[in-house]
Structure 1
Amino acid sequence: MSINWEKYGIKAPYGRSGNRKVFCPQCHDQRHDKRDKSLSINLETGEFNCHYCGFSGCAAEKEPWEKEDRPWRNAAPIRREKPVYKKPAPRQDCSSISGKALEWFKGRGISEKTLTAMKVTEGLEWMPQKNGKANTVQFNYYHNGELVNTKFRTGDKCFKLCSGAELLPYGIDNIKGTKECIITEGEMDALSFFECGRTDVVSVPNGANSNLDYLDDYLEEYFDDKETIYIASDTDTKGVVLKEELIRRFGAERCRIIEYGDGCKDANEHLQKYGRESLLKCIADAPEIKIEGVFTLSDFEQSLDALFEHGLQKGVTIGHDNFDRLCSFETKRLCIITGVPSSGKSEFIDEIAERLNIRYGWRFAYFSPENAPLEYHASKLIEKFTGKQFDKEHLTYGEYKQVKQHLETNFFFISPKSDFRVDAILERAKFLVRRKGIKVLVIDPYNRLEDESEGKNETKYISRLLDKLTNFAQQHDVLVILMAHPTKMQKNKDGEPEIPTLYDISGSANFYNKADFGIVVHRNRLENTVEIYVKKVKFRHLGECGMALFKYNLNNGRYSPFVNGTEPVWDNSNHLQEEIKRREQEAFEASQFNWDDFQPSDEECPF
């Protein structure tokens, strides 16, 4: 789409964006006040309206290629397409639960009444770990009364989910329309609460896995109406990670954390040791999350214990060894990136985004007027994901459709028509944390945020703004990446700009002082290389200062490490297709696992 202002005689400012006021070509000559700019125009959409004479319309026009008759362009627009899942086949050999199995469940505090209500069954099933059929207990996953998945457990703790079936919370139908709900780490814990009369209980389907993408389809209908959500994860390290991710997605203001007391790892263990009334008391005593205020050590004791047990861990990395040794990222941090114009700052931010999304599934939200219009930005991301130039000669329609669907569910673009206040951007980002589970917010660049200093001291204003971004990162467990331009740099003897530091960013030294990560992107035009300087890493276990050298791949916008003067091997592979294959293999392997990975050992079950 292009915008033809000249067609309507409108003189629009060049290189600007957003809403602007200009002289109206229809009534300006007749106006007594020649200084009055009465025509409001939107430089992104092409809409215009004169507040004096009513002259209005839209200057946007389709490009010639948009007018061509192309069958694929007439198809329905890309939306998030829900996968076609396999349904569990009817099991003719299922029988009622045997006496031995009932006795085992009874020893764990679970009655036959609860097993019947939660549709637990028993029967033969082929188990890959045994390379043959074995007797199993079956935790059946229903949605709207229809069987959609089953988890099988053998007596010696081999587990399997139905391959290709939908991953969803166990017992999801239990919580539809309830004011409260309990969410546990495993089916046995869900059965334990059900046994106590709390039928409003669900379990995550895949143990203490912090990837909660499957929640996206169930948040609005099953969780948005909850006044209180009780989180009943285990007390080990993985359980703590799961708890924190659930809090982030549901919102701390309505979450309570169930604690089981000394010597109890989970709900079923507490039920066995102390009985139903005691487990119900754990729910009644569950404390609210302290969003802000004064804390004692007991408020973060589980996280401290996990840190003591495993030590400070390196953060997530982008997969380039020369950069990874200098910098690894984690959430709850503020990363500031700078560099002179045309150095590749935005491109390197996209490199970080594409690689963290592929490697860890992190979802991104962008406020990036620097990359406007949105379709231009999306085309650059598509090149990085596919390894191919964005045109129909290099990219097949199948690849194009596939990557569009991926972007639809993993990248979100904050692009208000007029409200560029930082609070407005953060409010939209907060929504995306809850609804879409974003892990990173990119603001590119700082100087496109609306200036709200109102003539106040610039240094203090920037300090408060950076505090606001840091507070948002910590409260919502995200990484905030802020790109900020430096002041005009002096040129060296070769006529090239000097390499800036974070202290050179226009406005305040606080850009260095308040950053957790500080990165400078510098294009060396003489050597045809890109120098990435890590100027600050606040916590030493996350990295150190230094420089990583790269070459820029013109085919797809990727960066390739340039080490020891050896020309890089250009990476033109399709990262997305490789990742899809890897995830399919991972999903297959995840459907076959040992119970010991998720539960403490106990006596062998009789089924």
Structure 2
Amino acid sequence: MSASSLCLYRPLITALFFSRRRLISSSLSSSLPLVRVWSYSSSHSSNGPTPPPAIVEKMEEQTIGVAKVDTLKQKMELLGILCNDSCVPGRYTNLLCPKCNGGPSMERSLSVHIVQKGDLAMWRCFRTDCSWGDQVFIDGRAAHNEVKKIVQFSGQMTEESLRLEPPGEKITAYFSERMISDETLRRNAVMQRSGDKDIIAFTYKRNGLLVGCKFRSIEKRYWKEKGSEKTLYGIDDINDAAEIIFVEGEIDKLSVEEAGFCNCVSVPDGAPGKSSNKLPPVEKDSRYQYLRSCKQHLDKVSRIILATDNDKPGQALARDIALRLGTHRCWQVSWPKKDESSYYKDANEVLRHMGPDALRKVIENAKPYQLCISDRVVSSDKHKPERIPAS
């Protein structure tokens, strides 16, 4: 490591750890569930010569549970920190920062450290215009900033811990009436509360991990599991998508999939009461924090189709998304007429009354989004949406 690199990392190392430690890891036997790690500490007079290592070093064997380290890595992955095999306890690893993506040069500016015992992981981005830092604990203690919203439970949220099971006849019949197939329910891991045949469970997953769950009674009463992450429903379906479709609810996401588009996500909290031309400061824009947490996915998207509800809140939601993600890459669907005096409200209504082919055409005929700001119209070029099949 060069002298300049050492100077860059020394402030963090000094601030976090006041003693010097070197860690030597032994090989991991395939038959053992634990990784053995040895550490030693040294102390000597600053005025005298440095004693030989054999005298200074006192080896102390410690064991680190692999499961603990894996849990820390999973929690970091929820925040976009993708740990690799070099992320081992006691070492500093440089990774790509999910907040700034390493700047124009895409440098690995995020220094990640898992403490020796595997109880804590911490990180800091050393780019001056980012400086993102935080930490996660193995025991569920609250950390700072975004981590607080995720690390509110001990261990990983699972279907078993939430007492979920595959949907029964009553719930599958409910979705069948809405033209949503059992295959689509399985693909999106739609479940029900164990022992309660009237409660639908929409599971929110990121990188295949369960990070949240929204419950809905058949009578249309909603609530969320405590500790659920606020993210887009179906986020894993747009990992490699260049074009995506935004809808207002989970059932609309499933409906769009029935029309052949799997590159669709739903907002987690529905639509706002009203919109505004002026964007609030980032720290006050809490309602749309989920857009910032999905920045890695959204930044690489070239085209966004807004298929929100055909009412005032739905139009306000479309406007808010367009302002935050860029009107130049947004298109908007126009829901067809239901009769002489009214229009269909959303994707599921079109699917139920007109069928999947009609819904597909509505989406394919989306028009460039237009937003008037101070008598100035901002719009995009017309383009056909990309259909991405289910994997």
Say whether the 8 Å CA contact 2:255–2:351 is kept in structure 1. yes
AA of the residue aligned to 1:212: Y
Aligned to 2:32: none
The CA distance in 2 between the partners of 1:160 and 1:91, in whole Å, is: 19
Cα deviation, 1:221-267, whole Å, max 9, x if unaligned, reads 21122121111110111111101011111212211101211231000
The CA distance in 2 between the partners of 1:206 and 1:291, in whole Å, is: 23
**Structure whose residues are more often helix by fraction:** 1
Task: Please say if 1:285 is aligned against 2:365.
Answer: yes
Query: 1:83 and 1:271, CA in 2 relative to 1: closer, same or farther beyond 3 A?
Result: same
The CA distance in 1 between the partners of 2:176 and 2:268, in whole Å, is: 23
Helix, strand or coil for the counterpart of 2:257? helix
Instruction: State the Cα distance separating 1:281 from its structure 2 match.
Output: 0.3
Which residues of 2 match residues 158-237 of structure 1 at below 5 A?
158-209=221-272, 211-219=287-295, 221-237=296-312
Aligned to 1:124: 194
Which structure's CA Rg is the greater one?
1
AA of the residue aligned to 2:174: W
Query: 1:124 and 1:285, CA in 2 relative to 1: closer, same or farther beyond 3 A?
Result: same
| Matching residue within 126, 138, 141 for 2:201 | 138
Cα deviation, 1:132-153, whole Å, max 9, x if unaligned, reads x774110000000000000011
| Matching residue within 316, 325, 333 for 1:250 | 325
Query: 1:245 and 1:91, CA in 2 relative to 1: closer, same or farther beyond 3 A?
Result: same
The CA distance in 2 between the partners of 1:113 and 1:224, in whole Å, is: 30
Helix, strand or coil for the counterpart of 1:183? strand
Query: 1:79 and 1:226, CA in 2 relative to 1: closer, same or farther beyond 3 A?
Result: closer
Query: 1:283 and 1:90, CA in 2 relative to 1: closer, same or farther beyond 3 A?
Result: closer
The CA distance in 1 between the partners of 2:304 and 2:370, in whole Å, is: 15
Query: 1:108 and 1:206, CA in 2 relative to 1: closer, same or farther beyond 3 A?
Result: same
Say whether the 8 Å CA contact 1:96–1:121 is kept in structure 2. yes
Cα deviation, 1:135-175, whole Å, max 9, x if unaligned, reads 41100000000000000111222211122321000000001
Aligned to 2:146: 82
The CA distance in 1 between the partners of 2:306 and 2:291, in whole Å, is: 15
Say whether the 8 Å CA contact 2:158–2:210 is kept in structure 1. no
Say whether the 8 Å CA contact 2:304–2:330 is kept in structure 1. yes
Which residues of 2 match residues 22-171 of structure 1 at below 5 A?
79=132, 81-84=145-148, 85=150, 86=152, 88=157, 90-91=159-160, 93-124=163-194, 135-171=198-234
AA of the residue aligned to 1:271: L
Higher relative contact order (CA 8 A, sep 6+): 1
- TM-score, normalised via structure 1 length: 0.34
Query: 1:195 and 1:290, CA in 2 relative to 1: closer, same or farther beyond 3 A?
Result: same
Instruction: State the Cα distance separating 1:90 from its structure 2 match.
Output: 4.0
Q: Where in structure 2 are there 5+ consecutive unaligned residues?
A: 1-122, 134-144, 276-286, 339-343, 380-391
Query: 1:107 and 1:79, CA in 2 relative to 1: closer, same or farther beyond 3 A?
Result: same
The CA distance in 2 between the partners of 1:201 and 1:290, in whole Å, is: 21
Aligned to 1:241: 316
Helix, strand or coil for the counterpart of 2:262? coil
Aligned to 1:457: none
Q: Where in structure 1 are there 5+ consecutive unaligned residues?
A: 1-74, 126-132, 293-331, 334-469, 477-607
The CA distance in 2 between the partners of 1:184 and 1:83, in whole Å, is: 27
The CA distance in 2 between the partners of 1:139 and 1:259, in whole Å, is: 27
The CA distance in 1 between the partners of 2:172 and 2:361, in whole Å, is: 26
| Matching residue within 341, 347, 361 for 1:267 | 347
Say whether the 8 Å CA contact 2:212–2:227 is kept in structure 1. no
Cα deviation, 1:279-310, whole Å, max 9, x if unaligned, reads 00001111112478xxxxxxxxxxxxxxxxxx
The CA distance in 2 between the partners of 1:152 and 1:167, in whole Å, is: 14
What is the identity percentage for the equivalent residue pairs of Structure 1 and Structure 2? 30
Cα deviation, 1:365-404, whole Å, max 9, x if unaligned, reads xxxxxxxxxxxxxxxxxxxxxxxxxxxxxxxxxxxxxxxx
Query: 1:116 and 1:256, CA in 2 relative to 1: closer, same or farther beyond 3 A?
Result: same
The 4+ residue runs of structure 1 with deviation greater than 4 A are 75-78
Say whether the 8 Å CA contact 1:228–1:254 is kept in structure 2. yes
Query: 1:112 and 1:134, CA in 2 relative to 1: closer, same or farther beyond 3 A?
Result: closer
Instruction: State the Cα distance separating 1:89 from its structure 2 match.
Output: 5.0
AA of the residue aligned to 1:119: A
The CA distance in 1 between the partners of 2:233 and 2:360, in whole Å, is: 21
Aligned to 1:479: none
AA of the residue aligned to 1:227: S
AA of the residue aligned to 1:180: E
Cα deviation, 1:157-211, whole Å, max 9, x if unaligned, reads 2211122321000000001111111010000000001112201010000000363
Which residues of 2 match residues 567-586 of structure 1 at below 5 A?
none
The CA distance in 1 between the partners of 2:361 and 2:330, in whole Å, is: 17
The CA distance in 2 between the partners of 1:239 and 1:142, in whole Å, is: 24
The CA distance in 2 between the partners of 1:189 and 1:162, in whole Å, is: 21
AA of the residue aligned to 2:350: H
Number of matched pairs: 217
